[in-house]
Structure 1
Amino acid sequence: MTLSTTTVTHSSKRAWLAPLMYLFAGGALLGLSTNLAKLAGDLQLSALAFLFWSISGASLILLVLSAFRHNLPPINLRTLEYYFVSGLLGVASANLLFFSAIPHVGAGFVALIITLPPLLTYIGALMLKIERFQVMRAAGVISALAGAVSLAFHKLSAPDADYVWILLALIGPVMLAIGNLYRTLRWPAGVSSDALAPGMLIAAAVILLNAGFLPGFSLSVPTDRSLPIILIALQALVFAGQFLLLFLLQKSGGPVFLSLLGSVGAVVGVPVAILLQGETAPEGLLLGTLLIGTGIALLNIGKAKQRPQAQ
């Protein structure tokens, strides 16, 4: 009996720790990604070109990894639908909006608004019965959201606020929340996360490639110096790690826990934007960070408490 109890306890701890590790690692990469996009803008790289080439590089990295593991993305009507819809919602459209907005509203602000999907995801998950209502987890989502809203409010209140780009950027979190729910509901049976990730990125690259043929858009990259190429290669590595961790977190933590990636990304991305890129610290940064941190803690505790009930 003691051995059985010990085994269950260790299993619960592993189930609790794995999503938390994926969350912090993936969030850190997300925060780094927004700052790399700002650097790309400073180098005259268009948002579409930077996103397309880095996503293409990331998909190649993950595809090679999948081939090495003999776990290539399966191709059929069901998985093709999954790749293209999740690639459109969670990669191409959301990131294009974010990367395009960064030169106008700053990397720090974009890092902050990526914390907004949890409430939308949580409400959707409750309505679709993916999640059971739990007071502690609901409080965690509300706390994280309150921190993000507090910071966003200060940004909107600034006298030089670019309202058009702020509102366009705010569409991104809606796309991410829908994508979080879609990937959970339509996850192809029996397909692993490291097979789905490259499939989604390849689909996103195809979508972005087609966008490059639209008037006013370009996929060209300056070739007179090596720095833009280096930056794209670095972003490709970041994207590869970020989206692989995203699928691992989705599988182990669920769509609501997954949506907290943005909260961790803000904790990393905002200080980097301030310290290394010279952006002004958002007003209310300390309060916002505390609320976001509290939300992550409450959601994580709530998730840990749900595990024993499921066993």
Structure 2
Amino acid sequence: MSESTNNNSFYKRHTWLVPLTCLLAGGALIGISTNLAKAAGQIGLSPLAFLFWSITGAAFLLSAVAILRNDLPPLTVRSLEYYSVAALVSVAGSNLILFSAIPQVGAGFVALIIALPPLLTYLGALFMRMETFNVVRAMGVVAALSGVGVLAIRKFSAPDASIFWILLALCGPVLLAIGNIYRTLRWPNAASPSSLAPGMLIAAAIFLGVVGTLPNFSLAVPTGALLPIGLIVLQAFIFAGQFLLLFLLQKTGGPVLLSLLGSVGAIVGVPVAIFLQGESPPEGLFLGASLIALGIVLVTWGGVKMIVIPDNTHQ
């Protein structure tokens, strides 16, 4: 076997490292983000104001990076449609729902339900023929979903459960799954992840800004203290990293691996909510978290096998 063939084989066998790294780092940022949203509410920042200013800051940061790299967001009819729809379902709509639900159902529960999109994304990807059926990956998706299901059922059965807010919170993962499919299907030709991320965030900031002009909504930030500003700045950097990693994972790992960002976010976000936010551990936490972790391993391993097996057939 030639040296070039060996190098090519090595590259194919290790292409999973990039999406796996993006998955773990991006998921960790999501877990931290949900807890920051709760902290923001505790110091008087409304979910809409916190989300709007954080997204605006993240859009500024990623736009600055795009300018420095001379990789500006494309401005075509296709890309403008992409920014608008992706911003609505993947950023503005889903995050506003989840951030608004956190004071009602807890940061730990929200961190857990954002692990729900894998099944919806996987089924959608199969239906759209974007993904070939793989038994290992299917088992992983079912395991992750089962873990979240255990925790959600226990939450519904709690004596102080708010059915309305639990159901509303569950709409967030549905929008995230729709976004996972849409962004893959409509990815503008020849566009890079680092150019699309700021375009989507700018569109999301515009949507949220319009909502802020409606009656009973406000974008006001409490004055007289540095903590609200500090939280917004921190969240802006987290959003910038989170959405840049999201687009990189979208490009390198596909929609199903992308959907597991929420599962990693759950594993990170729940311990933070318990130990730093003082929340009570959700009922069934050990079983649910174990199933979610198993799902991540199986879906990732299934993806590795899909890369390696075709390579072996040509030797």
Contact kept? 2:31, 2:269, Cα under 8 Å: yes
Point out where structure 2 has 5 or more consecutive residues left out of the alignment. Answer: none
The answer to whether 1:117 aligns with 2:155 is: no
**TM-superposition CA deviations, 1:121-147 (whole Å, max 9, x none):** 000000000000011110010001111
Residue number in structure 2 paired with 1:165 = 165
**1:5 CA displacement:** 4.6
Contact kept? 1:12, 1:304, Cα under 8 Å: no
Q: Counterpart amino acid of 1:65? A: V
The answer to whether 1:62 aligns with 2:62 is: yes
Contact kept? 1:108, 1:273, Cα under 8 Å: yes
The answer to whether 1:199 aligns with 2:199 is: yes
**1:9 CA displacement:** 3.4
The answer to whether 1:222 aligns with 2:222 is: yes
**1:13 CA displacement:** 3.5
Q: Counterpart amino acid of 1:114? A: I
Matches within 5 A, 1:207-286: 207-286=207-286
The 2-side partners of 1:107 and 1:6 are apart by: 48
The answer to whether 1:131 aligns with 2:131 is: yes
Residue number in structure 1 paired with 2:21 = 21
**1:223 CA displacement:** 1.2
**What RMSD, in angstroms, separates the aligned Cα atoms of the two structures?**
1.0
Residue number in structure 1 paired with 2:184 = 184
Q: What TM-score do the two structures reach when normalised by structure 2?
A: 0.97
Check 1:103–1:64 CA distance in 2 against 1; reply closer, same or farther (3 A cut): same
Residue number in structure 2 paired with 1:73 = 73
Contact kept? 1:94, 1:176, Cα under 8 Å: yes
**1:256 CA displacement:** 0.6
The 2-side partners of 1:158 and 1:3 are apart by: 62
Paired residue secondary structure (1:15) = coil
Contact kept? 2:13, 2:307, Cα under 8 Å: no
Residue number in structure 2 paired with 1:106 = 106
Residue number in structure 2 paired with 1:294 = 294
Q: What TM-score do the two structures reach when normalised by structure 1?
A: 0.98
Paired residue secondary structure (2:16) = helix
The 1-side partners of 2:203 and 2:73 are apart by: 11
Residue number in structure 1 paired with 2:308 = 308
The 2-side partners of 1:298 and 1:235 are apart by: 31
The 2-side partners of 1:210 and 1:309 are apart by: 50
Contact kept? 2:31, 2:265, Cα under 8 Å: yes
